[in-house]
Amino acid sequence: MKRFAIVDEAFDIEPLRERLLSHQAGAYASFEGWVRNINEGRPVSALTYEAYAALADSEGEKILAEAAARFAIIDAACVHRVGRLALGELAVWVGVSAGHRDAAFSACRWIIDEVKARVPIWKHEHYADGAAGWLHPDGDA
């Protein structure tokens, strides 16, 4: 089963979390990135995410495989939305299960940082004044 997904609709994190449960796991850590109403002092009304889906899927899977090799984790998963998202909507989720909390926290942080740096997903901000602009892929979610 794929551990990384690009989706174009809202998703429920509970089934994703349940997939990571294991009797070996003593810890679970997650990250949720939401659409916020301001960026660098400028009011934001919405975001549009676009992705090169085939490459994004491939690179996302590589990142999760690297995390499994790099950290003492049991499993990890990541889902990123594309399309137009309203304020407060969930844009990205990362979940990690591990034997211990340090590995879960460390891997979760590393995964989201790598996804933002390496996966071809672009963010287009729509501002309250009607203007819009593209942000660099390494910007905050």
Share of the chain above pLDDT 90, in %: 90
E strands, the chain, are: 4-7, 27-34, 38-39, 42-51, 73-81, 83-86, 90-98, 121-127, 132-135
Whether residue 141 is predicted with pLDDT greater than 50 in this model: the reply is: no
The residue with tokens 């819009």 is: 132
CATH of domain 4-8+16-129: 3.90.1170.40
82-94 pLDDT per residue, tens: 999 999 999 999 9
Residue 86 φ/ψ region, left for φ over 0, alpha for ψ in the -120 to 50 degree band, beta for the rest? beta
| 69: its two tokens | 């090799």
